[in-house]
Structure 1
Amino acid sequence: MLFAGLLVAVGAVAFRLVVIRQFPGFGPASGGALVDPARPAARIGRLASLAVVLGTIGRLVAEMGVFRDPFEPFWAEIRLLVAGTSWGRAWLAQITAAALSVIAFTLAARPGRAAEPGWMLAAAGVVLLAYTPALSGHAVGAEHYVTAAITADVLHVAAGGAWLGTLAVMAGVLHLGRRSGAEISRAHIVDWITAFSPLALGSAAVIGATGLFAAWLHLGAFSALWAEPYGRRLSLKLLFVLGVVGCGAYNWKRSRGRVLASGDPARLPPTVVLELAVAVGLLLITAVLTTTTPPLHE
């Protein structure tokens, strides 16, 4: 929940700044009013930020389940964990950034120019959110190159949101726009895909580079990919990454033609749904991987 919400929140901002800025999209709704695609994107971002809040609270509950001392007062234990440990300070930063993002996306969902301050605040909120996983994960615990490890982790998360999060938001906005009666032509969808493709390609390159760096930093030896629990789970993650990349490459080459050849109403090709489904599996494996100790951290 935490990772999915984080990526989609980043994707909502990327969708607003990259895709909509180039191609605004929707025409009038059935009642004659113009439909602003940024508003459903903001509502999706708000739901995603709420998911981050819930996921972050879940992390605290799980951490308390591990370290809870039954002979100490419950609230004193929480206060000690949150205020007295580096993990707790990172948790505070994460819950604060998530709450800030909820407020920001709520403001961004307002009509017209009144939404601009909300989007600016949302951009700041998701930057902070992208930074927080590194503060309590494997990056901050690296034996060497800690600053580089944290930077790579932040870029890895941000690129994942810019690619998969933006794709999820685009699909969600099209669905919500169609429900509201907006006129969504094939040209609108093709324009959005055209704006999204360079973002996805650049993000994939960043994910590949930062992922390789993290593997080199945490594995220690190539044989750890099959000899260690962390390595085996990382290998499984790599298989899912290849699946997402394969779907993405197919969509990059074929999605425009598939949209133009689709029936009424125009919609994204089914392979986009497949790409997002594989991405969900990728997030589940990542969640397990973050709780597994790398060989060089033992």
Structure 2
Amino acid sequence: MEGSSPPPPDVLAFAGHAAEYFGLLGAIGSFVVRRLGRMPPRIGWARPRMADFLFVAWIGGVILLIGVHSWLIAIRIAAELLAWVLCTRGSRFVAIPAVFAAAVLPLAGHAAAMQPSAAGAELADAVHVLSAAMWAGGILALASLRPPDGWRTDDARNLLERFGRVAVIAFGVTALTGLLSASEHLNGLSDLWSTAYGIVLALKVAGVLVMAGLSLLWRRGVGNGGADALVAVLVVVATAALATLPSPA
């Protein structure tokens, strides 16, 4: 009986990107939520499992490296592993390698292929990823928490209010840098419905808008973040697809 053949490189790349994006966004979001929980009055249960997110990111990086051999990806994997080790040991420096890993994600993506404005495209994409991690990743981190008495308690409402102030700014930066990135990757508006890349991008934008609406409802006491986190996962999947699809521009 013949052994099963390995999946095509594009499938590996998609799986790796999805896991890595999910893990890094969730990890940085966890860091943000933890910091917010330490603000007075301190919220002791606001400690998302950052190490789990980092481990998922590392696994995703390894999968990606199998399909796409790149020293940049290898460096990112090393940073993710270092962040995971530091996190499991309770080091205060865990954010440094985690942020570095997230910031260099564009170096292996479409932004790196943009000429002659590669540096500007990479910078915009790096800021885009980091700002998205602060609010979308924060939503993933918050949704993983289980407050002792639910999300309607004073502590839970305080945490959501603190996060909301950060999320509004981060969302604005994400939207602006996302618009700049789209202008680099699309030739025109028609690409949004005439190309695979554009269609996935349009679906991602729609998902982000849905997330924003659900976040507002959650902040006002409607829901528990589950639907918001589910849409966030779908947005991550769309982001992974964009990383593997050729851009029209």
**TM-based fold match above 0.5:** yes
Is contact 1:8–1:48 with CA below 8 Å preserved after alignment?
Answer: yes
1:133 Cα offset (Å): 0.9
- For residue 169 of structure 1, report the CA deviation from its aligned partner: 2.0
Alignment of 1:2-81 (within 5 A): 2-26=20-44, 37=45, 40-41=47-48, 44-63=49-68, 81=69
Aligned to 1:167: 139
Give how far 1:245 is off. 1.6
Give the conservation status (yes or no) of the 8 Å contact 1:23–1:191: no
The counterpart of 2:242, out of the listed 284, 289, 297, is 289
Read off the aligned partner of 2:26 and give its amino acid letter.
V
Q: Aligned with 1:6: secondary structure?
A: helix
Q: Closer, same or farther in 2 for the Cα pair 1:183/1:25, shift >3 Å?
A: farther
Q: For residues 214-233 of structure 1, what are the structure 2 equivalents within 5 Å?
A: 214-233=181-200
User: Is residue 195 from structure 1 mapped to residue 162 from structure 2 by the alignment?
Assistant: yes
Take 1:152 and 1:19, find their aligned partners in 2: how far apart are those partners? 29
Runs of 4+ in 1 over 6 A off after TM superposition: 182-185
Distance of 1:51 and 1:225 partners within structure 2: 31
Structure 1 gap segments, 5+ residues each: 27-36, 64-80, 82-87, 109-117, 259-268
Instruction: Give the counterpart letter for 2:139 in structure 1.
Output: L
Q: Distance in 1 between matches of 2:231 and 2:67?
A: 26
Aligned residues: 231
Match for residue 264 of structure 1?
Answer: none
Which residue of 2 is the match for residue 66 of structure 1?
A: none
SS across alignment from 2:188: coil
Structure 1 residue matching 2:111: 3-state secondary structure = coil
Given candidates 110, 127, 130, the residue that maps to 1:158 is 130
- What CA distance in whole angstroms lies between the structure 1 residues aligned with 2:111 and 2:80? 21
Answer yes or no: is 1:95 the counterpart of 2:77. Answer: yes
Name 1:265's counterpart in structure 2: none
Matches within 5 A, 1:126-137: 126-137=98-109
Letter in 1 for 2:52: L
- TM-fit CA distance, 1:20: 2.6
Q: 1:183: how far off?
A: 10
Q: How far does residue 97 in structure 1 lie from its aligned partner after superposition?
A: 0.9
Structure 1 distance, partners of 2:234, 2:151, is: 30
- In the superposition, the TM-score normalised over structure 2's length comes to 0.86
* C-alpha deviation, 1:132, in angstroms: 2.1
| Separation (CA, whole Å) in 2 of partners of 1:99 and 1:131 | 15
- Displacement of 1:184 in angstroms is 8.9
Partners of 2:144 and 2:203 lie apart in 1 by: 28
Q: Which amino acid in 1 is paired with 2:77?
A: I
Larger radius of gyration: 1
CA distance in 2, matches of 1:288, 1:184: 33
Of residues 173, 179, 186 in structure 2, which corresponds to 1:206? 173
1:129-175 per-position Cα deviation (integer Å, ceiling 9, x unaligned):
111211100111112422221111111111121112222223333x2
1:61 Cα shift?
Answer: 2.0
Judge conservation of contact 1:93–1:132 (CA < 8 Å) in 2: no
Task: Write out per-residue CA displacement over residues 72-111 of structure 1, whole angstroms, 9 at most, x where no aligned residue.
Answer: xxxxxxxxx4xxxxxx121122111101110111122xxx
Q: Deviations over 1:262-296 (max 9, x none)?
A: xxxxxxx33x1111111111111111111001112
Q: Write the letter of the residue equivalent to 2:174.
A: I
Q: How far is 1:17 from its partner?
A: 2.4
Q: Percent identical across equivalent pairs?
A: 25
Is residue 148 from structure 1 mapped to residue 117 from structure 2 by the alignment?
A: no
Task: Give distance in 2, aligned partners of 1:212 and 1:56.
Answer: 27
CA contact (8 A) 2:197 2:242 kept: yes
Which amino acid in structure 1 is aligned with residue 86 of structure 2? A
TM-score by length of 1: 0.72
2:166 is paired with a residue whose SS is: helix
Distance 1:183 1:160 in 2: 26
Q: Which runs of 5+ in 2 are unaligned?
A: 1-18
Task: Report the Cα distance in structure 2 between the residues aligned to 1:12 and 1:283, rounded to whole angstroms.
Answer: 16
- The SS at the match of 1:290 is helix
CA–CA separation in structure 2 for the residues paired with 1:235 and 1:52: 25
